């Protein structure tokens, strides 16, 4: 799933942290490089995201502040009054052409924050003050995909088991469900899988598991009693997209137990205009980034008519197999 990291940058202040040592033990051949602060490496000038993506390095760091962020308007909050996310890691091991991270971060290297207890403390403080929190864990990364060497998902499941007013969403494209399958399902935790037609996985979601592999993991999670969300987002207007996504809806209806699906979130492509500009500079060969998008304020997206066509087609295709109440439009 990932290449072994050739170099691991380590902040001086956490070089003796037990999680730092555990991660280093997972990569005995990696060359350790001491650094003062992760931003000295991660934010330095003249980096090339695409070149780094070929062989990303690991950066181990301590998060000093801002342990909770308000959720983006790009992401559905599912009507929760306190929708936040945290950043246990920055960047993803996958290489999806539409991923906003390559437009947001200057580096393709992967930052892992090892001081999880500070995140837990900040979350407890928020809950004490506000009485509820909907927290997206896997926001600027795919946390479950890192679980074999950065088992943060397990730690948060254990933490959430004792915080009855905390709701977690763990979004992933990985098939690492086996890493957490021993845990009893928590009704306040949603396991959310992003899926796409297999043709798009092969051509655009580079390095990610196949559709069938994801569906196998989803099926097992449903059988085990977890709340499962399906995210078909973004729906991409690739050649013959209608056929690809209608077939995807039919496959979901065939493979998945309708009663086991909490909801299915659908949406079209949308992004910050500055992120897209950086991405098109980096990925000149990615046709999906050079669509004739509509711009409104600082947001680019498919036109209103194109988005409506996407939502109407996908909603109709899904309603052949699932209840209309299960289908949620994340952006239109």
The residue ranges of every structural domain in the chain are 195-268+302-331
Q: Could you tell me the two tokens for 31?
A: 């060359």
- The answer to whether 303 and 123 have CB atoms below 8 angstroms apart is no
Q: Report strand pairing: 83-85 vs 89-90.
A: unpaired
How many angstroms from the chain centroid is the CA of residue 122?
22
pLDDT for 1? 45
Q: Is the omega angle on the peptide bond into residue 234 within 30 degrees of 0, that is, cis?
A: yes
Q: Please give the Cα distance from 220 to 12 (Å, whole number).
A: 42
- The answer to whether 179 and 216 have CB atoms below 8 angstroms apart is no
pLDDT for 139? 87
As averages over each run of 10 residues, the pLDDT of the chain (332 residues) reads 82 98 97 97 91 95 96 65 94 96 96 98 97 93 97 98 96 98 97 98 98 98 97 97 98 95 96 96 95 94 96 98 94 56
CATH of 195-268+302-331, one of 3.40.50.300, 1.10.10.10, 3.40.1440.10, 3.80.30.30: 3.80.30.30
Q: Could you tell me the two tokens for 326?
A: 């299960």
Report DSSP state, residue 31.
E
pLDDT for 75? 57
* Angle CA 119–114–218, to nearest 5: 75
Q: Could you tell me the two tokens for 126?
A: 């928020």
Q: Could you tell me the two tokens for 101?
A: 């991270």
Q: Could you tell me the two tokens for 122?
A: 């900040």
């Amino acid at each position: 799933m990932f290449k072994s990291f050739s170099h691991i940058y380590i902040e001086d202040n956490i070089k003796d942290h037990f999680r730092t040592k555990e991660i280093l033990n997972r990569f005995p051949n990696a060359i350790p490089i001491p650094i003062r602060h992760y931003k000295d490496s991660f934010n330095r000038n003249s980096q090339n995201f695409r070149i780094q993506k070929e062989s990303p390095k690991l950066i181990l760091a301590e998060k000093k502040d801002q342990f909770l962020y308000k959720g983006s308007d790009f992401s559905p909050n599912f009507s929760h009054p306190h929708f936040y996310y945290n950043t246990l890691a920055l960047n993803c091991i996958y290489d999806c052409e539409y991923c906003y991270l390559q437009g947001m971060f200057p580096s393709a290297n992967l930052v892992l924050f090892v001081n999880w207890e500070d995140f837990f403390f900040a979350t407890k403080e928020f809950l004490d003050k506000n009485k509820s929190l909907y927290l997206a864990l896997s926001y600027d990364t795919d946390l479950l995909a890192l679980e074999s060497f950065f088992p943060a998902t397990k730690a948060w499941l254990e933490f959430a088991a004792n915080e009855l007013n905390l709701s977690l969403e763990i979004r992933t494209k990985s098939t690492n469900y086996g890493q957490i399958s021993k845990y009893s399902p928590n009704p306040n935790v949603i396991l959310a899988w992003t899926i796409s037609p297999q043709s798009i996985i092969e051509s655009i979601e580079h390095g990610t598991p196949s559709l069938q592999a994801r569906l196998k993991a989803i099926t097992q999670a449903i059988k085990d009693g977890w709340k499962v969300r399906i995210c078909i987002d973004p729906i991409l207007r690739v050649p013959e997209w209608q056929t690809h996504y209608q077939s995807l809806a039919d496959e979901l209806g065939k493979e998945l137990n309708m009663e086991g699906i909490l909801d299915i979130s659908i949406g079209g492509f949308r992004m910050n205009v500055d992120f897209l500009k950086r991405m098109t500079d980096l990925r000149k060969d990615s046709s999906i980034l050079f669509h004739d998008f509509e711009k409104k304020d600082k947001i680019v997206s498919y036109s209103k008519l194109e988005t409506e066509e996407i939502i109407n087609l996908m909603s109709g295709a899904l309603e052949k197999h699932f209840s209309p109440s299960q289908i949620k439009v994340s952006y239109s």
